[in-house]
Amino acid sequence: MKSCVVIGMGRFGREVSRRLCEFGCEVMAMDLRSELVQQISGEVTHAVVADAKDKEVLRTLDVQDFDCAIVAVGDNLADSVLTTMNLKELKVPYIVCKARDETHRQVLEKLGADRVVIPEQENAARLARSLSSPNVLDYIELSDEYGIVETPAPKRWIGKTLRELNVRAKLGVNIIAIRRNGRINVAPGGDFFMEDGDVIVVLGDTDSLTTVQNL
């Protein structure tokens, strides 16, 4: 199970927290505003009232032991910067930050954030899906039930043709493209052999895509 701490329970932070829990992650939600923490407490693993600008508070909460931290306080540049610096100093493995504009994005990237998102460009569901599995390179939500995921080809598929794998019948998904050595093969045929290092782009419902990611 992947563990994430989400800092900032505004609309974006709440939605990311909920979605991560739906995808099976352990989630600690954090905010200074007790009313917002109370609202989310029944939907996440842990919910705490805490000041992420205080590095010792973060250390006490063991945020350094989480796989990922999401800084969702993008409306306040100073708070966002200080929180990100604290997380970097505590050596949190992967830090995702919300930014309000491109200038904010550049500042956070210079601080060492691993990924910076602008909510108007990337929705919470897509971010949560991509963070919930270490194998997901990208996820596009088509509806509440269907999506497209980009993920490394499962090891057990290597050396087999798409006809042998027959993923549409066995798993209920469609391989719509395969990326190999920087080149994209769209709608590959049944004789296409899977090779180590291939990245597949798969269309299917949420449950089927999760099965593919876990192979």
Model confidence pLDDT, tens digit, residues 148-198: 888 889 999 999 999 999 999 999 998 888 988 878 888 788 999 999 999
Q: What is the pLDDT of residues 104-125, one digit of tens each?
A: 888 888 888 998 988 766 667 6
- Please give the full DSSP string across 74-110, using - where no structure is assigned: TT-HHHHHHHHHHHHHTT-S-EEEE-SSHHHHHHHHH
The residue type of 210 is T
Q: Would you say residue 135 has pLDDT above 70?
A: no
Q: Is residue 202 pLDDT above 70, yes or no?
A: yes
Compute how many other C-beta atoms are within 10 angstroms of the C-beta atom of residue 100.
15
Q: In what order do the strands lie in the sheet with 46-49?
A: 46-49, 26-31, 3-7, 68-71, 95-98, 115-117
Going 176 to 182 to 183 to 188, the CA torsion angle's sign is negative
Both structure tokens of 126: 């897509």
Token readout for 164 is 């042998």
Q: Partners of 27 in the beta sheet?
A: 4
pTM given for the model: 0.64
Give the phi and the psi of residue 150 in degrees, each rounded to 5. Answer: -110, 120
Phi and psi for 132 in degrees, rounded to 5? Answer: -75, -20
Closest CA to 130 of 146, 113, 111, 115: 115
Contacts of 155 (CB under 8 A, 6+ apart): 196
Of residues 173 and 138, more confidence is placed in 173
Sort residue 187 into left (φ over 0), alpha (ψ -120 to 50) or beta.
left
The reported pLDDT for the residue numbered 136 is 53
Measured between alpha carbons, how far is 43 from 189 in angstroms, rounded to an integer? 44
DSSP run (H or E) holding 180:
strand 174-180
Q: What is the pLDDT of residues 21-58, one digit of tens each?
A: 988 899 999 999 999 999 999 999 999 999 999 999 99
Mean predicted confidence (pLDDT) in 6-16: 93
